């Protein structure tokens, strides 16, 4: 299993610092303003909102019932709002080829109506349909772990988080991100999950922005500017 695959796999019961690091971000005075700026809340059209603010909402969302179990052209555009592009051969295979058919079978077995904080550990285990879908995508030509994660986050925004190099750095290179995040969200009667929902409400974001996405954006906005070197571990 490669480094990035290990980052999504089982943690073996080792404690994670993810919850502590997320609480530091959420305790910062800037967090509400950061979220409002990212999603353009209170800003006039064209006033500088981030394109990623459209990731979950473009064309009604990737998890809406009619398209929840297949990848669409809108999904491919949506991930571009997060500064990545699916290579054209892979995009065509997702839309019209066997890759799309394989992923549709897996998506049908990945819950679309549950938050990660409420999910059983088996939902994100190494042998789960979610993990197998991630591995299948990650293995495609010039896709890799970042794009694979963003594609799945578009289809299951409540269950599967966006995970990229910025988040990995800010959260201390967690050895098992999906499981470490799930554990952090469930600690203390799901205190962190409820705090994320509370910050979402304070920022005036719609309920269609998941707790996972609130965490992702808050971390991303709080992280040092490009040029900051995050030490590999």
The DSSP line for 103-170 is HHHHHTTS-SS--GGGS-GGGGSTTSHHHHHHHHHHTSTTTHHHHHHHHHHHH-TTTS----HHHHHH
Q: What is the mean pLDDT of the chain?
A: 90
Over residues 72-126, the pLDDT tens digits come to: 999 999 999 999 999 999 999 999 999 999 999 999 999 999 999 999 999 999 9
- Which two structure tokens, joined as six digits, stand for 105? 């079978």
Per residue in 146-182, pLDDT (tens digit) is 999 999 999 999 999 999 999 999 999 998 899 999 9
CA–chain centroid gap for 25, Å, is: 17
Tokens at 192, concatenated: 């962190």
Q: Distance between CA atoms of 135 and 14, rounded to whole angstroms?
A: 23
* Higher pLDDT, residue 119 or 5: 119
SS3 of 232, please? Answer: coil
User: Is the per-residue pLDDT at 4 higher than 70?
Assistant: no
Name which residue leads in pLDDT, 233 or 52: 52
Q: Is the pLDDT of residue 11 over 70?
A: no
Domain edges within the chain = 3-50+109-222
pLDDT of residue 17: 85
Quickly state the pLDDT bin for 15 (edges 50, 70, 90): very low
Tell me the angle at which helices 98-107 and 129-138 cross, rounded to the nearest 10 degrees.
160
Q: How far is CA 158 from the centre of its chain?
A: 8
Alpha-carbon distances of 146 from 30, 164, 167, 194, rounded to whole Å: 27, 5, 11, 27
Q: How many helices (H) and strands (E) does the chain have?
A: 11, 0
Q: What is the pLDDT of residue 175?
A: 86
Name the 3-class secondary structure at 42: coil
46 versus 193: the higher-pLDDT residue is: 193
Q: Which range is least confidently modeled, 26-40, 74-88, 117-131, 216-230?
A: 216-230
* Residue 2 · residue 185 · CB < 8 Å: no
Mean per-residue pLDDT, 178-199:
95
pLDDT higher than threshold 80 for residue 227: no
pLDDT band at 136 (very low <50, low <70, confident <90, very high): very high
* Percent of the chain's residues with pLDDT above 70: 88
pLDDT for the residue numbered 228: 54
| pLDDT for position 119 | 97
Whole-number Cα distances in Å, 198 to 27, 56, 205, 210: 12, 19, 10, 12
Mean pLDDT confidence for 197-201: 98
């Amino acid at each position: 299993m490669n480094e990035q695959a290990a980052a999504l796999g089982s943690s073996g019961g080792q404690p994670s610092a993810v919850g502590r690091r997320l609480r530091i971000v959420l305790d910062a005075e800037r967090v509400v303003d950061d979220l409002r700026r990212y999603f353009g809340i209170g800003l006039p059209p064209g006033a500088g909102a981030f394109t990623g603010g459209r990731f979950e909402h473009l064309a009604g969302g990737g998890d809406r019932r009619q398209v929840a179990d297949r990848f669409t052209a809108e999904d491919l555009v949506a991930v571009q709002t997060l500064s990545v592009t699916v290579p054209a051969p892979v995009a065509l295979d997702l839309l019209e080829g066997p890759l799309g058919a394989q992923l549709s079978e897996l998506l049908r077995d990945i819950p679309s109506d549950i938050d990660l904080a409420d999910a059983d550990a088996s939902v994100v285990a190494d042998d789960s349909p979610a993990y197998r879908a991630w591995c299948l995508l990650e293995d495609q030509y010039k896709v890799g772990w970042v794009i694979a994660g963003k594609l799945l986050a578009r289809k299951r925004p409540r269950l599967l988080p966006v995970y990229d190099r910025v988040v990995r750095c800010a959260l201390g290179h967690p050895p098992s991100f999906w499981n470490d995040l799930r554990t952090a969200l469930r600690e203390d009667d799901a205190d962190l999950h409820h705090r994320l929902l509370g910050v979402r409400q304070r920022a005036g974001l719609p309920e269609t922005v998941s707790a996972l996405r609130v965490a992702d954006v808050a971390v991303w906005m709080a992280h040092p500017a490009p040029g900051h070197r995050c030490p590999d571990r």
